[in-house]
Structure 1
Amino acid sequence: MRIARSLFASLLIASSVFGSSASADTLSGALSRAYENSGLLEQNRATLRAADENVAQAVSRLRPVLSWSASALNNNLTGANPLADFDSNFSTSLSLNLNWLLYDFGASDLAVEAQKQTVLATREALVSVEQQVLQRAVAAYLSVLRDQQFVSLRESNVRLIAEELRAAEERFNLGETTRTSVALAEARLASARSLLAVARGNLVRAEQEYQVAVGAMPRNLAQAPASPVSLSVDAAKAYAVRHHPQIKQLQYSVSASELALERASLAMRPQVQLNSGITLRDDGTESSNISVTVGGPLYNGGAMQSQMRQARHQLDSARAGLHIAVQNIEQNVVVAYANYDVAGAARDAYEQQVAAAEVVFEGTREEASLGARTMLDVLTAEQDLLDARANLVSAQIDEILASYSILAALGSLTVDHLDLSVQRFDPEAYYELVKSAPIASSARGQALDRVLSAIGD
């Protein structure tokens, strides 16, 4: 019974370490740090800002283009001595030109709208990346918890077998048992120490993954709560199809492809352009011109027809991709719920197994003290109890992980849904600054300079 009390005390200490939230890192804190420290999120935020700039560039095509040029000309190099007459024949000029697309049957407007849809799709892609970052952090947190408790169980197992070995040696010295029982305890102790070393190695790997996923080493992690699961499978599937960022991203991509096809159909239409220019020469003369031109392609080797067919195929591909994504999301929801149910059932079963194994161990240990059981029986009962407790720990962690996998399958594993205490990234802030394609000297342009400087820092 002394050994049984020792095991119970060790497990009680482990429970107090991993179950208490006092002075411990919490799962929500780890998720907040993962969001704030993620280089992957920073990379995709830059990708979103680049997509925002495509809108500005599409808008700029509807505005006049002002350009300048300077030239130097020698009109006569055919004389007997052209270098002698170089200065008299040399002239310079400076020109200022304006080109403005006045009308193209809405093709440029369609380009702007297509880029806006691409921006919306890129925002949803950023939400998907956010889910990946948070899901990895959840998995890393729970993996450390699992391996910490495995190490605790293995340490308790080593202490228990060491006690059994000491007891066997005492009985052997008194002539109450054989050398075989002592050797059996020694073998089990060596095996337990080997498994403890493996558990500690697994914990080191889990801690390194945690550092990469979260941005800091784990410190006294608190037991993580499971995410509440309130929707039925059918309701969850319907919710995911409406709200999952991957679905919304592909919906915006389909819209962008539809606009691209409509724009391609206008490629044969003419364009109306305004052209104007003024030229100043070094002899004091100047000339100016202004013209409105209407023109369009008649034949370009079939390239525009090919581009139209290509746009139609790209639209078909985008629609098919959306259909496949809907199927995959629905499948992921069903699998996530199934995994959650399996983990819950396993937890219930292992709780019963642990309770039964405790009774068996305590009874076997008591019977061994009366001579009705052997050392092998005691060690076997202890191993069964250890395995049951390890399986229970693993099932508890699996159930928590499965609950967050359901959130990810729904598209709700985000800082907004989890209400994390972080400085949230605003995907519209940069877009609002650049959507009108401001020039550097404008108020928006100066604000952009400040934003870019802050990003660079």
Structure 2
Amino acid sequence: MRSLKHSIGMAATFCLLDASASAQAADLVTVVQQALGHDADLAQARAAQVAAKEAVPQARAPLLPQISGGWGRTYNSIATQGFPRTSYWQNGWTVSLTQPIFDWTKWEAYRQADYVEALGAVNVDFAQQTALLHAVRAYFDELAAEDEVTRASDYGAAVDTQLQILQRNRAAGEATVIDMREALTSREQVTLQQSDAQNALAAKRRALEQVTGAPFTALSRLPDALALPSLAPEDADAWANQAKDHGYPVQQKQLEWQVAKFDVGKAKGEHYPSVYLTGSYTPSGAASGYARPTTTATGMLAVSIPLYAGGATQSKVRQTEALQDEAMQALVGATRTADASARDNYARYQQGRARVDMLAHLVASCRETLAATRVGYKVGTRTSTDVLRAIDALYSTQRDLLAARYDAVVTLLQLKGDTSTLSLTDVVQINTLLR
């Protein structure tokens, strides 16, 4: 499995975002790179990963020798009946060492730390993939909005052309009032669509700027004829199994379940005895009660056996076992969600490819139908209503085709995301299709 971090390093050579990006047509890689550097959730996950990396050394430290030292100066005054008072100062230092021999709780914490560190890495990869998908969606949403503005403008021009013909025919007595009203109604509908398209474009541009943190006045576009790649393998079960085994949400829940299992082990470990080796060395009179300098050295093998803690240990075991069961159920839920998402995106992409092909054929047919209907209107075999309907059919089908193309591309990347195989390399491959 390729990590996003590795792919970003490879793909960084394809483009660099400079200060003139907002004045030139930005491609998909540029936008995605900008989004990855701007995304706050990704930055948060990276910071959390740095913290998670400290789990291993912190858990390992209690298993290693613990050495401490100290120094003190003490004033002593001893009064004994029948003897003169004795007063003196003592200076002394001490060094002590403690070495765990057996402590199950600390050992379980050390084993758990590896999973905590791994969870931090998975969280970063998932955050990178999420940011990438957000950027891709925002990019193609803006392109779709731009296409809708262009389509609505072309639609309006076609209706205006028909309206001008009707006005001339009306002046010549060859068009009815009903024909004019129908054309004017179509023009009002076009005006509404143009207004909606402009508002939608402004909203999508704001959304892209929010994702990237920078405005882009022009974006590279998909070609008019786009051959969507086929899936490999063309097997929904294979994609679903990959998602259930390797999807980032599933990986997260698997690691969280492992962490919860070790929490149970740590809680149970509080029932077990612990064995420590301790030693200390205290020279130069630091031993209390002696006027002359003394040196004390001790060594001890200590065994601590928990007997009764008021029921706290048993309660903690029950609590961690319940949390382990919660983590297990979360894993089951994530697996089911990954399976359903992969199957849904697989079906959507396969249907999307077929839909794009059919709509492209239908647009060509509608264009031919409109041309024939206009000829028929000139010779009197078709009415103005027929022409307006043919115009509406053509541009409605064009709208569906444009939306289907963008949806298919995004769905393909989402399917790869379901299986955690999405990388910037995939974005670069899509980017090569842009113009």
TM-score above 0.5, yes or no = yes
Alignment of 1:25-104 (within 5 A): 25-63=26-64, 64-66=66-68, 68=70, 96=94, 98-104=96-102
CA RMSD of aligned residues (A): 3.2
Amino acid at match of 1:136: H
Q: Residue in 1 aligned with 2:258? A: 255
Partner of residue 290 from structure 1, selected from 288, 293, 298: 298
* 1:43 shift after superposition: 0.4
Q: Residue in 2 aligned with 1:313? A: 322
Mapped to 2, the partners of 1:351 and 1:197 lie a distance apart of: 26
Q: Is 1:271 the equivalent of 2:275?
A: yes
CA distance 1:313–1:101, shift in 2 (3 Å): farther
Q: Indicate the SS of the match to 2:303.
A: strand
CA distance 1:386–1:92, shift in 2 (3 Å): farther
Q: Is 1:383 the equivalent of 2:392?
A: yes
* 1:207 shift after superposition: 1.3
Partner of residue 393 from structure 1, selected from 382, 397, 402: 402
Quick check: 1:30–1:214 contact (8 Å CA) kept in 2?
yes
Identity %: 20
Alignment of 1:301-340 (within 5 A): 301-340=310-349
CA shift digits 1:249-284 (9 cap, x unpaired)? 333333333333333333231231425364878999
Mapped to 2, the partners of 1:89 and 1:371 lie a distance apart of: 130
CA distance 1:198–1:416, shift in 2 (3 Å): closer
* 1:146 shift after superposition: 1.1
Q: Residue in 2 aligned with 1:229? A: 231
Amino acid at match of 1:254: W
- Figure out how many residues of one structure are paired with residues of the other and give that number: 387
Q: Residue in 2 aligned with 1:7? A: none
Partner of residue 136 from structure 1, selected from 134, 144, 149: 134
* 1:113 shift after superposition: 1.4
Q: Is 1:157 the equivalent of 2:155?
A: yes
Quick check: 1:243–1:410 contact (8 Å CA) kept in 2?
yes
Alignment of 1:203-242 (within 5 A): 203-218=201-216, 219-223=218-222, 226=228, 228-231=230-233, 232-242=235-245
* 1:307 shift after superposition: 2.2
Quick check: 2:143–2:219 contact (8 Å CA) kept in 1?
no
* 1:336 shift after superposition: 1.0
Amino acid at match of 1:43: Q
* 1:125 shift after superposition: 2.1
Mapped to 2, the partners of 1:281 and 1:188 lie a distance apart of: 105
Amino acid at match of 2:249: Q
Q: Residue in 2 aligned with 1:125? A: 123
Amino acid at match of 1:252: L
Quick check: 1:168–1:182 contact (8 Å CA) kept in 2?
yes
Q: Is 1:189 the equivalent of 2:187?
A: yes
Alignment of 1:13-32 (within 5 A): 24-32=25-33
Alignment of 1:170-185 (within 5 A): 170-185=168-183
Mapped to 2, the partners of 1:417 and 1:51 lie a distance apart of: 29
Quick check: 2:256–2:327 contact (8 Å CA) kept in 1?
yes
Amino acid at match of 1:123: A
CA shift digits 1:424-449 (9 cap, x unpaired)? xxxxxxxxxxxxxxxxxxxxxxxxxx
Mapped to 1, the partners of 2:96 and 2:396 lie a distance apart of: 81
Gaps of 5+ in 2: 1-23, 79-85, 430-435
CA shift digits 1:390-412 (9 cap, x unpaired)? 11111112211221121111122
Q: Indicate the SS of the match to 1:354.
A: helix
CA distance 1:91–1:126, shift in 2 (3 Å): same
TM-score, reference length from structure 1: 0.75
Q: Which moved more, 1:189-198 or 1:160-169?
A: 160-169
Gaps of 5+ in 1: 1-22, 77-87, 421-457
